[in-house]
Structure 1
């Protein structure tokens, strides 16, 4: 009988260096709202999403790439010089189909590049919006997996950890899981899965974004499988896994 692959959870980008990423699949998790927006744009027909850290690079690519849309926020507001924000609601099929979304984020983009620098095999992105696609993919690949929570400015946050817990709860029989971060994530998710919407309103990030009137976005971001495609990172771009 073949040995099962391992699964670990990194609760923050600041902890990623403590995890062996060599030849592993890293799932980048940034529930509020980057990875929810990425899956939504691709589900609604975007050709690709290009995640970048720097605003200047986002603007440059927007000028160079045909049919590109530039997007990004800081503190809940669209960045000056960019066209759109980080709300999934901004990317319906009628608008985004066939276009390239160039998206600047802080936490998720940073984590993605860190993962490759540390030798991971590949990167996919996940949130509640594409929970089933993430779970199906990582179980079918039979590779070691690291669930990478983007957190907030290198700090732990609950919404990303809850999603990690949801993944673990579904795939736990297919992996060797022996780390306390994964145990905690699964237990928190199991404890609150039936009242997730109510519980998650206690989180710091919810309060921060709700202050900008983004409650509808936040509810969308914890809705299971509402944009159920798998974004996979290839050649600097996130595309739908086929």
Structure 2
């Protein structure tokens, strides 16, 4: 099994993913939100790159939630932002969610040429690794990045995925993947690895320390959300 990594949502669009499994990562915070919402009983998540599309599609819909962010802040007029702690069972159970974020939803839309799209964050790495192995396809890990730039938080998550895959099955990796494994092994405390990184520092400055603590919990959940037919679910 060959493993490749791309570091931004924009780069995903340039990658040939036909016949491959794609793993989308946007740990701070879109994929962490998706996993949390579905774990708490949301039915489906419809991801879109732009706000206008969501506004149009939701115009006559009921029992839905509009959520998302721009520059880490909740979109005006939307029900929820992009903090996973907002997506409680009381708020999301049995509802469809329409979501737009700066990086994560773009990464999903730019990866739709792949055979499978799995949604991953630190919260469900072990289950995603098992699913990658089950599908027996070459795999592209798409790190959403931050505003078109490399993001250390996503890269760290990718490194842990590759490290765990290497333990469980035969994989073929390049120097980039080896470097990501080294990053994941550099410190047992993930927060220390991410200290002073751009996205981590931005969330910290906006008062999202509780989000960070939650998101950096390894393997809290066993679900593996998948994107197909235009939405994300765990069915």
Deviations 1:64-99 (A, max 9, x none): 333100011112221112111000011111221101
Q: CA deviation at 1:146?
A: 0.6
CA contact (8 A) 1:59 1:82 kept: no
Residue in 1 aligned with 2:124?
Answer: 130
**Once superposed, what is the RMSD of the aligned Cα atoms?**
1.5
> TM-score under structure 1 normalisation?
0.91
Q: Any residues of structure 2 matched to 1:110-189 within 5 Å, and which?
A: 110-116=106-112, 119-172=113-166, 173-189=168-184
Residue in 1 aligned with 2:23?
Answer: 27
Structure 1 unmatched ranges of 5 or more = none
Change (3 A) 1:218 1:210: same
The whole-number CA distance in structure 1 between the counterparts of 2:103 and 2:74 is 16
Q: Any residues of structure 2 matched to 1:13-52 within 5 Å, and which?
A: 13-16=9-12, 19-52=15-48
Structure 2 unmatched ranges of 5 or more = none
More displaced stretch, 140-149 vs 56-65: 56-65
Change (3 A) 1:16 1:54: closer
Q: Secondary structure at the match of 1:115?
A: coil
CA contact (8 A) 1:39 1:228 kept: no
The whole-number CA distance in structure 2 between the counterparts of 1:175 and 1:50 is 34
> TM-score under structure 2 normalisation?
0.94
The whole-number CA distance in structure 2 between the counterparts of 1:19 and 1:47 is 30
Change (3 A) 1:23 1:209: same
Q: CA deviation at 1:17?
A: 5.4
The whole-number CA distance in structure 2 between the counterparts of 1:25 and 1:65 is 32
Q: Secondary structure at the match of 1:182?
A: helix
Q: Secondary structure at the match of 1:125?
A: strand
Query: Is 1:91 paired with 2:87?
Result: yes
CA contact (8 A) 1:84 1:90 kept: yes
Residue in 2 aligned with 1:226?
Answer: 220
Q: Secondary structure at the match of 2:189?
A: helix
Query: Is 1:102 paired with 2:98?
Result: yes
CA contact (8 A) 1:10 1:181 kept: no
Query: Is 1:235 paired with 2:229?
Result: yes
The whole-number CA distance in structure 1 between the counterparts of 2:126 and 2:60 is 35
Q: CA deviation at 1:107?
A: 1.3
More displaced stretch, 35-44 vs 146-155: 146-155
Change (3 A) 1:207 1:7: same
Q: CA deviation at 1:212?
A: 0.9
